Amino acid sequence: MTGRKHSRRTFLRGAGGAVGAGAAAWVGISNISSASAETTAQGKEARSAARRKPAAAAPGVKGKVYAGYQGWFAAAGDGSPVNAWTHWASGTPAPGNQTFELYPDISVYPASGLYQTGYANLGNGKPAKLFSSYSTAVVDQHFAWMQQHGIDGAALQRFGSDIVAIGQPRLQQRNDIQSKARDAAEKHGRGFYIEYDLSGLTDDNLVATVQNDWTNTITGTLKLTSSSAYAHEGGKPVVHLWGLGFTNRPGTVQGSLDLINWFKNKGCYVIGGVPRGWRTDANAKPGFGPVYAALNMVSPWNVGNPTVDQQLFDDDMAELKANGQEYQPVIYPGFAWSNWHTGAPKNEIPRKAGNFMWQQAVAVARCGTKNAFVAMFDEYDEATAIAPAATDASQIPTNQYFLTLDADGTHLSSDFYMRLAGAATKMINGSAPISTTIPIPPVA
């Protein structure tokens, strides 16, 4: 574990730093012809009927591959509770003012969810715009892509720094996004579950804050676990607690155990996001063994590791199998954050035209588990997104560096990593044989 991803994840996944403090603003514009259609009785009834429709994915977590879903990009003027640029930049994105590395392929995003930046035009002459995650059309498109490419569903990231901000726009923003994700998951037959990122909490408030949020909001006002698309394992609603045992995350051994056992007593199936060195306490808080042992499923955070370590996956799997626990390894396409951290290398952990992520998937399939977590679906910030990205210089602004998919010398279509994730899902769940070579073409 390099630790670089962790410090970035601390900052952007809800620690309330410069970008996080700006809060996220998302577009409340639908891809249907007018916003008024969503406010009519007919529109409301249609959405209600859609939510009652059973999810085609029959969601569980065993034998499934979920992608982490941030839903945190924002734009000024998007009509959201926060209504300001965030995660793309603090203020209007412009040359020298950005906190993301990988430019999205905006040509495939709904026009209603795009907002003008301060960059020069793209290399192809089109305006340099960025999307807002508040857009109903954008969220719907993300889940439509998951369905199209055979990705089982999304782990909806819910940040400690948001849920502690009761009564503030950033929490309403998060609630609205996750309600839109529920609707999109139901519509497109994908599963979803809540993943609490404990960033932004403290040892003192962690347990009570998460408990209150689950009781009052997730199962209360939002009623997310009542959705036909909400992941249940063995009839139990799934919840993921990310940050257990990390040296730069809150939580004592006793507090962590109390929270896990509270969820279990509520009838939940609990996944834990833990350090890559969880078995040996490497780069982890000491003494967390009982915490890891209390989990139903363990998901060690592999992002930042530049190698593919078959032995790591094998040893994790062996220990968890012996303990009667499930294993959800994390795979990711690559990593870079030079636009956020001055002096950081460009293309720091290269994607190698998909081979880096594919070899991780091969190692996961070989270790014997049928489950995995893709980090992440939409994190353009650190260039870990599998969502459509700029293929080459024609799709990025002419006056600012951004990573493009051809950085390793191979031209890839912007949907390549979603297609790759779909192929990896089949190999991991056993519906396709293990292949050491990528089974999909660079361009569809």
DSSP output for 76-140: TTS-SSS-S-BSS-SSS-BTTB---SB-B-GGGS-GGGEEE-SSPPBTTS---EEE-TT-HHHHH
Query: Are the beta carbons of 240 and 371 closer than 8 angstroms?
Result: no
pLDDT digits over 213-234, tens only?
Answer: 999 999 999 999 999 999 999 9
59 pLDDT band (50/70/90 cuts)? confident
Is residue 416 over pLDDT 90? yes
Is residue 441 over pLDDT 60? yes
Q: What pLDDT does residue 136 have?
A: 98
Is residue 110 over pLDDT 60? yes
Distance in angstroms (rounded) separating the CA atoms of residues 389 and 333: 12
Torsion, Cα of 177, 180, 184, 190 (10° steps):
50
Distance in angstroms (rounded) separating the CA atoms of residues 423 and 150: 8
Tokens of 336: 């870079």
8 pLDDT band (50/70/90 cuts)? very low
**Domain assignments of the chain as residue spans, ordered by start:** 4-30+57-429
Q: What pLDDT does residue 25 have?
A: 27
Task: For residues 431-437, give the mean pLDDT.
Answer: 98
Task: For residues 199-205, give the mean pLDDT.
Answer: 98
Is residue 15 over pLDDT 90? no
**Where are the alpha helices (H) located in 294-415, listed in sequence order?**
310-322, 355-367
20 pLDDT band (50/70/90 cuts)? very low
HSE-up of residue 4 (Cα within 13 Å, Cβ side): 17
436 pLDDT band (50/70/90 cuts)? very high
Distance in angstroms (rounded) separating the CA atoms of residues 351 and 335: 8
Task: For residues 143-169, give the mean pLDDT.
Answer: 97
Q: For Cα atoms 70, 314, 268, give the angle at the middle one, nearest 5 degrees.
A: 45
Give the CATH fold of the 4-30+57-429 domain: TIM Barrel (3.20.20)
Task: For residues 331-353, give the mean pLDDT.
Answer: 97
Q: What is the pTM (predicted TM-score) of this model?
A: 0.89
Distance in angstroms (rounded) separating the CA atoms of residues 15 and 24: 13
Q: What pLDDT does residue 93 have?
A: 98
Q: What pLDDT does residue 49 have?
A: 42
Residues 6+ apart with CB under 8 A from 64: 152, 153, 191, 231, 371, 429
Q: What pLDDT does residue 12 have?
A: 32
Question: φ, ψ for residue 237 (rounded to 5)?
Answer: -65, 140
Is residue 406 over pLDDT 60? yes
Is residue 425 over pLDDT 70? yes
Lowest mean pLDDT among 4-8, 319-323, 347-351, 430-434: 4-8
Tokens of 172: 């309403």
